[in-house]
Copies of this chain bind each other. A is one copy, B any other.
Amino acid sequence: MSNEEGSGQELLDLIKGFRRSKVLFTACKLKVFDTLKNGAVLTAEDVAGKINASVCGTEQLLDACAALGLLERTERVGVVGYGNTELASLYLVSEGEHSLHGFVTHYNDHIWDLFTHLESAVQEGTNQFHRVSRRRADDSFKDSFYPSKEAQLQFTRAMHDLTKLGAHAVATAFDLSGFTSACDLGGCTGALAHRLVQEYPHLKVTVFDLPEIIELAPSFQPVGQQAARISFMPAGDFFKDRLPERLYILSIIHDWPDDKC
C-alpha cells in the first residue's frame, strides 16, 4: 500500500467510525450483553429470541460486536456461539461495579441526536436542544438535560458511570494525604468522593451539588465504612452560591464559556 493509500484508508476509517459507536449503542440498548452475562454462550437464534429481534439482524449485530472485540465468536461442531469478552463483562453488562451502561444509554439517546444537528450548531452558534426536544435554544443546560425526573436519573447515572472510570486516576494524580477535608464542587453522586476516602484514610469529603441531584445520590452509594466520611451539601448552584474555600473540580468547567468560569 502506498503512503497516499495508507492516509486515505485512515481517513476512510474516520469517515466510517460512527458506525462502530452505533453498533455498540444498539447492542447495549437491546440488552445483548445482559443476555450473555455470567459466561453464557448462545447462538444468534437464541439471542434473537431473548432480545425479541430478527435472527438475520441479530446475527449481523453479533458479528459486528465480535469484530469490535465486545463479543467472542466461537464455532463448535458447526454451531456458532457468542459470549461476552472480558471488556463487555466488565463495562457493558448493566449491573456491575464498573458498568458504563448508563453512559452508553445517555450517548445513544441524547448525544447522538445532538450531533446529528452539528451543522446547525456551527451555523447558529447555539446548542441544539431545541431541535431534539421541546426546549428553546436559550433554555439552560439544567432545563434541557433534566426535563423530567426520569431524564434526570438517566443523566445522573451517565455522569456517575463516567466519574467512576476516571476516579482512581484523578484521586491519585496528586498526593492529598496531608489534607483532612475537601469539597467536590458539582460532585454529583459522590463517585469521586468515594474513591478519595478509599485512597486517603484521614480525608473527609463534602459533595456540593444541586438539591435534585443530591436527592438521587443515596441509591448510588457503595456500602462500606468509608462512606461515613462523605457528606452531601444540597446547597446549590455554583454560579450563585458562596463556595467553600478549599475545593476541587473534576470536570464541570468544560461546558461553560470563559466568562462564567
A150 within 8 A of B: no
Q: Which are the 8 A-B pairs with shortest beta-carbon distances? A: A54-B125, A18-B18, A57-B122, A18-B21, A57-B125, A17-B17, A53-B123, A26-B118
A2 within 8 A of B: yes
Inter-subunit contact B21/A124 (CB<8 Å)? no
**Identical chains bound together, number:** 2
Inter-subunit contact A103/B165 (CB<8 Å)? no
On chain A, the number of residues with a Cβ less than 8 Å from chain B's Cβ atoms is: 62
Inter-subunit contact A11/B112 (CB<8 Å)? no
6 residue pairs A–B, Cβ–Cβ below 8 Å: A17-B20, A30-B122, A54-B124, A57-B124, A58-B122, A61-B118
Inter-subunit contact B119/A16 (CB<8 Å)? no
A104 within 8 A of B: yes
Q: Which B residues are CB-close (under 8 A) to A79?
A: none
Contact flags A109-131 to B (C-beta < 8 A → 1, else 0) = 00110011011011111100000
